[in-house]
Amino acid sequence: MLSGYSNSIISNYGIAPVQINKSAKPSAVKETLTYTSAPSFKGKSSVDSNFRTSLSTKEEKAQYKHLTKHLDKEGKKALNYALKTGKLLSNNSNDKTTTLENLYKLSTTQRAEGMNPDILLNHTIKTIANPHLITQRFGNIPDEHKREVIDLITKGDKNLIERKLAEYELDDMFSGCCVAASEEFNLATRQPAEFARFAEGLTSPKKSVQKEIKLDSLSDKTLDAIWLLNAFEIPYEAKDFKTAKITLAPDKNAYIREQIQENYQDRLERSPIDVLFQSTFMNVGSQQSYDTLTDKRGGKFSNDDRGLIDFEKTFMETVVEDKSITSVTYQKVDDNQRVIGYEADYNTVKDQLLETLSKGNNIIIGYTMTDENNVINGGHEITITASRTDENGNLYFICNDTDDDNPAPVEYLATSLIPNIHHAGIPTDIADKTMQQTENWVLGLRDFNNDNKQ
């Protein structure tokens, strides 16, 4: 059975691994993970044959020269690496602009108040060259800004207890942004030009980015697609029965954290660019209810104030990438949050994952952590980017984890990872071929919403 919802799991993904243990993984997976090297900006990388790897016009050469003048040593290496690997001249953006064009626009046009274009440019090109740099780890609030931030969180309340509680929360905050960070990684990996276009738009005076999407990416029924846009409170303009122009933006408090990270970023903390991307994607998934200062959300589809649930992840991933994505639920979970079985056998799951990878897609998965009684005590989202088979025939999935404090890929043995996967976002056509779809995620979301109202 293919299901778009989470089999009674109403707690949100993205929190537990940080709160439980810095190295927390499903017990079966923990013994089989190994780290591999991140890109060194040297040599060759896989390049799409349609991508160009050399500057061909005077305008491109002038733009490239300008960027080098505004990049530090590592930024220049990243720019050169992006050119050699086809990322810089890729035009896989929503409006067909290239990565280079968007980086040049970011560097030469006005940014939002207080933003440093050189800092933003360096972070953006380094992330495009090596998306494994993306992390969901929050930066701390410096003492000189704490009063201002606490005023915002407490809405100016002078109650000392409330203010102290807010301070404690700020000092001990764990990120629930793993879904959003995984989507940020996905975009930087597969659509560098679109990533650069987002970076330019979110840091511009408009503080937003517009995107034209196909309504049938959301649903094969136009009215259901429009219902989804309204339900998620996304500003949009329906151009016809096939397309809509949507506006994506972070919450207003994201720019406070962005400014702090521009000036106080420590090692292994989010970059200013990470802040804006993750805040935007959290806002999209949570029906425009996210608050970056507290990492909490409201919205109508979740009983929890942290992270995103399956429906929200699927909607966010679908509109950001403009692809028909289905969140396939593999684990059967009872009302006591205990894993009691699986919706598909091992080989079916393996084949779906491998076919999705073979078509050039990353796969954002949610895995569960269980106790000795198979009761779920946490969940986390990571991204599968590739696979390999060793000399003994063992299959490994190469993944990215935005919460492991390591800017490099990690490998999981397939026989250990697959049983722990609760859900995976895969192309709808692949899901439909190998599993019987009893109801799509749009209908499931309607039912879920109605149950919550009751």
Residue 214 in domain: no
At residue 19 the predicted structure's pLDDT band, cuts being 50, 70 and 90, is very low
Residue 387: which domain range?
Answer: 16-40+309-453
* pLDDT at 68 exceeding the cut of 70: yes
pLDDT of 157 > 50? The answer is yes
Is pLDDT above 70 for 351?
A: yes
- Residues 278-287 have a mean pLDDT of 97
Burial level of 74, CB count in 10 A (0-12/13-18/19+)? middle
Task: Give the pLDDT mean for 190-194.
Answer: 97
Structural domain contains residue 371: yes
Q: Do 368 and 374 meet the contact criterion of CB atoms below 8 Å apart?
A: no
- 209 found inside a domain: no
3-state secondary structure of 341: strand
The tens digit of pLDDT for each residue in 82-124 reads 999 999 999 999 999 999 999 999 999 999 999 999 999 999 9
In this prediction, residues 341-365 reach a mean pLDDT of 95
* Distance between start and end Cα atoms, the chain: 26
Note whether residue 438 is domain-resident: yes
pLDDT tens for 296-341 read 999 988 888 999 988 899 999 999 999 998 888 899 999 999 999 9
pLDDT at 427 over 80: yes
Domain assignment present for 381: yes
Beta carbons within 8 Å of 181's beta carbon, 6+ residues apart = 134, 135, 136, 175, 274, 278, 402, 403
| 445 or 240, higher pLDDT | 240
- What residues have CB less than 8 Å from 377, skipping those under 6 apart? 16, 20, 369, 370, 371
Q: In terms of pLDDT, which residue wins out, 429 or 5?
A: 429
CB-based contacts of 213: which residues, under 8 Å, 6+ apart?
243, 244, 245, 246, 319, 322
Q: Compute the mean pLDDT over every residue in the chain, rounded to the nearest whole number.
A: 87
Over residues 243-247, mean pLDDT? 97
Q: Is residue 85 assigned to a domain?
A: no
Domain count of the fold of the chain: 1
- Round to whole Å and give the CA distance between 194 and 109: 18
Is residue 263 within 8 A of residue 273, CB to CB? The reply is: no
Residue 67 lies in a domain: no
88's tokens: 């810089």
Strands (E), 338-404: 339-342, 363-370, 376-389, 395-400
Mean per-residue pLDDT, 113-142: 97
Q: What is the pTM of this model?
A: 0.88
pLDDT band at residue 173 using 50, 70 and 90 as cut-offs: confident
Residue 401 forms part of a structural domain: yes
Q: What is the DSSP string of 125-192?
A: HHHHH-GGG---PPPPPPHHHHHHHHHHHTTT---HHHHHHHHHHHHT-----HHHHHHHHHHHHH-H
